[in-house]
Amino acid sequence: MSIAPEILDSPDDVGRAAATQIADAIETASAEGRRFVLGCPSGRSPLTTYQQLALLVIERDLDLSGVVIVLMDEYVDKTAGGFRAVDESLPHSCVGFGRRDIVERLNAVARPGRRIPDGNLWSPDPQAADGEYDRAIEDAGGIDVFLLASGASDGHVALNPVGSGADTVTRVVALGDDTRRDNLGTFPTLKSLDEAPRYGVTVGIRTIRELSRAVIMVVTGEHKQSTVQRLAAAEAYEPSWPATIVTQCASPRFLVDRSAAGLLQTAL
261 vs 5: CA distance, rounded Å: 9
Q: What pLDDT, on a 0 to 100 scale, did the predictor assign at position 187?
A: 81
Q: 20-61, pLDDT tens digit by residue? A: 999 999 999 999 999 999 999 998 999 999 999 999 999 999
Q: Answer whether residue 80 is part of any domain.
A: yes
Look at 71-75, 89-93, 190-194, 219-223 and tell me which has the smallest mean pLDDT: 190-194
Alpha carbon 257 to its chain's center: 17
Alpha carbon 50 to its chain's center: 11
The fraction of the chain above a pLDDT of 90, given in percent, is 84
**What angle, rounded to 10 degrees, do the helices at 11-31 and 47-60 form?**
50
Q: 216-257, pLDDT tens digit by residue? A: 999 999 999 999 999 999 999 999 999 999 999 999 999 999
Q: Answer whether residue 266 is part of any domain.
A: no
Q: Domain range spanning residue 28?
A: 6-259
Q: What pLDDT, on a 0 to 100 scale, did the predictor assign at position 268?
A: 44
SS3 84: strand
Q: Is 174 exposed, middle or buried (0-12, 13-18, 19+ CB in 10 A)?
A: exposed
Average pLDDT over residues 185-208: 89
Q: Answer whether residue 201 is part of any domain.
A: yes
Q: Is 9 exposed, middle or buried (0-12, 13-18, 19+ CB in 10 A)?
A: exposed
Q: Is the pLDDT of residue 138 over 80?
A: yes
Mean pLDDT score across all residues of the chain: 94
Distances (CA, A) of 148 to 46, 79, 215: 8, 30, 7
Q: Answer whether residue 34 is part of any domain.
A: yes
Distances (CA, A) of 40 to 75, 126, 134, 245, 254: 15, 18, 15, 16, 16
- For the residues of 12-36, what is the DSSP string, one character each? HHHHHHHHHHHHHHHHHHHHTT--E
Q: Answer whether residue 267 is part of any domain.
A: no
Q: How many domains does the chain have?
A: 1
User: pTM (2 decimals)?
Assistant: 0.94
Q: What pLDDT, on a 0 to 100 scale, did the predictor assign at position 176?
A: 84
Q: What pLDDT, on a 0 to 100 scale, did the predictor assign at position 265?
A: 60
Q: What pLDDT, on a 0 to 100 scale, did the predictor assign at position 267?
A: 45
- Residue among 114, 26, 11, 133 at smallest CA distance from 71: 133
Q: Answer whether residue 1 is part of any domain.
A: no
Strands 171-174 and 199-202, bridge-based pairing: antiparallel
Q: Answer whether residue 264 is part of any domain.
A: no
At 56, which helix (H) or strand (E)? helix 47-60
150 vs 2: CA distance, rounded Å: 16
Q: What pLDDT, on a 0 to 100 scale, did the predictor assign at position 1?
A: 74
CATH number, domain of 221, equals 3.40.50.1360
Q: Answer whether residue 265 is part of any domain.
A: no
Highest mean pLDDT among 61-70, 88-97, 151-160: 61-70
263 vs 240: CA distance, rounded Å: 20
Question: Which residues neighbour 208 within 8 Å (Cβ) at sequence distance 6 or greater?
Answer: 39, 146, 148, 157, 158, 215, 245, 249
